[in-house]
Amino acid sequence: MIVYVIAIIAATGGLLFGFDTGVISGAIPFLQKDFGIDDGTIELITTAGLVGAIAGALFCGKVTDYLGRKKVIFASAVIFAIGAVWSGLAPDSMNLILARLFLGVAIGVSSFAVPLYIAEISPTNIRGTLVSMFQLMVTLGVLVSYLSDLFFADETDITCWRPMFYAGVLPALILLIGMIFMPESPRWLMSRGRREEAMHILNRIEGESNAEEVAHAISEEIEKSKDEISKWSELIKPGLRTPLFIAVGIMFFQQFVGINTVIYYSPKIFFMAGFDGAISAIWAAVGVGVVNVVATLVSIYFVDRLGRRKLYFTGLTGIVLSLIALSMSFVFAGELGGTGQWMTVIFMFLYVAFFAISIGPLGWLIISEVFPQKVRGLGASVGSLSVWVFNSIVSFTFFKIVNALTIPGTEIMIGEEQVGNPAGAFGFYGIIALLALVWGYFFVPETKGVSLEKIEDFWRKGGKPRNLK
């Protein structure tokens, strides 16, 4: 089916997102030696990409509504390719910070434009599956980055981090070339009065028997919102406050359950767990990447079968229990010895798996569904912007939270260096995951099998999220 091909090509933007997220993890041990930098500078390098992503998400919402989804995704691929080369060539830490700031813009753009594009080209009955391909590609990107790190890692060559970054050029070229042949969003075309072009695409993706009905529903919603203007102030009007709160809320919890501390710093965390050597820690991180991909595939299979809410509550419950167990494994690391190392690995894998079947893909899916056509680009931009703001906070504060919440007497030795114990940090993220369960009961909507136009009409009538079906 043509729509699957379109979704897979577009979702390559998620692979870029994931690659950039994960590549820094394996590069960190070598960067620190090559540039002679401390954990604080590493946090700045990591956070620079996130700040760039914030800028991309903030300023490209209106651009996406004005120029269309396809052109913006294409532009993000170009920026990513340039940023990957710049990162690899960086002569010092300041240049690397600037390169990752630039590269982050592409990630911020693709993180909202790709799910939005896929949602708008997808038939209602498989929309969840297709949009979730974005998260699958994110997890594949993380895994590919870990494998790339492992391939280039060389304990005898501290500059081996450079080709780790260069490898990101390849998926950027795949997305760039692929998007040349992809159609524009039919919903965006209809909103611009280009009905004939939209119908041509709808006939291909919906089938000629359904295309006219879908086009009619889109036209009706466009007519209802013809007096609305695509601007930021629209998002705080009464009919849109609920989807805005949902978008920001679900992305807050997606990030503050702490998942990206594992993605960014997994080798460092495995050092804390007792693993010896950068390459063995990267191998453990590869295991995290594999679990992430497999669990996301499970989510894709079930998202249009079980629905969003069931996956959300199943996953969040598992996240709470996994984080408690992970915290305890670090508290008693000294007593457990080698057994504690593998308990840490097992609980880390479970934590990642439960995240990947639930709030990981569901966050991106839901923000692409809940906003009306007129402000869908802006709304998805706010959701994506929220991700990067919260992600920046979590990544920049992880080591600070570790040190602040370390129980005296449980400090960990890495070589000759004494560091904090992450048990308190994982316990903190577990409490937030528990709050996410409560919040989700009231605010996570069930959008399975509900058309984008029906969702839009539901908010117009003042419906409560948990009653949507």
**Is residue 260 domain-resident?**
yes
> From CA 432, how far away is CA 274, in angstroms rounded?
27
> How many domains does the chain divide into?
1
**Is residue 211 domain-resident?**
no
**Is residue 219 domain-resident?**
no
Sign of the CA dihedral with 20 first, then 431, 383, and 179 last: positive
CATH number at residue 22: 1.20.1250.20
> From CA 351, how far away is CA 328, in angstroms rounded?
14
What's residue 68's pLDDT? Answer: 87
What's residue 232's pLDDT? Answer: 64
Instruction: Quote helix, strand, coil % in the chain, to nearest 5.
Output: 80, 0, 15
**Is residue 203 domain-resident?**
no
Number of neighbours of residue 58 by Cβ within 10 angstroms: 15
What's residue 233's pLDDT? Answer: 67
**Is residue 205 domain-resident?**
no
What's residue 336's pLDDT? Answer: 67
What's residue 322's pLDDT? Answer: 96
**Is residue 9 domain-resident?**
yes
The phi-psi region of residue 122 (left if phi > 0; otherwise alpha if psi is between -120 and 50; otherwise beta) is beta
Instruction: Give residue 460's domain range.
Output: 2-182+225-467
What's residue 97's pLDDT? Answer: 92
Report the run of H or E that residue 175 belongs to, with start and end: helix 169-180
Longest dimension (CA), the chain: 70
Average model confidence (pLDDT) across the chain: 85
What's residue 415's pLDDT? Answer: 63
Specify the higher pLDDT residue, 237 or 347.
Answer: 347
Helices (H) and strands (E) counted in the chain, each on its own, are 21, 2
**Which of 380, 414, 453 is CA-nearest to residue 73?**
380
**Which of 261, 440, 444, 279 is CA-nearest to residue 351?**
261
Number of neighbours of residue 66 by Cβ within 10 angstroms: 14
What's residue 271's pLDDT? Answer: 73
**Is residue 50 domain-resident?**
yes
Considering the chain, what percentage of its residues have pLDDT values greater than 90? 30
pLDDT digit string, tens, across residues 138-186: 889 888 888 888 888 887 888 888 999 999 898 899 999 999 999 998 8
> From CA 236, how far away is CA 439, in angstroms rounded?
20
Query: Is pLDDT above 70 for 228?
Result: no
**Is residue 202 domain-resident?**
no
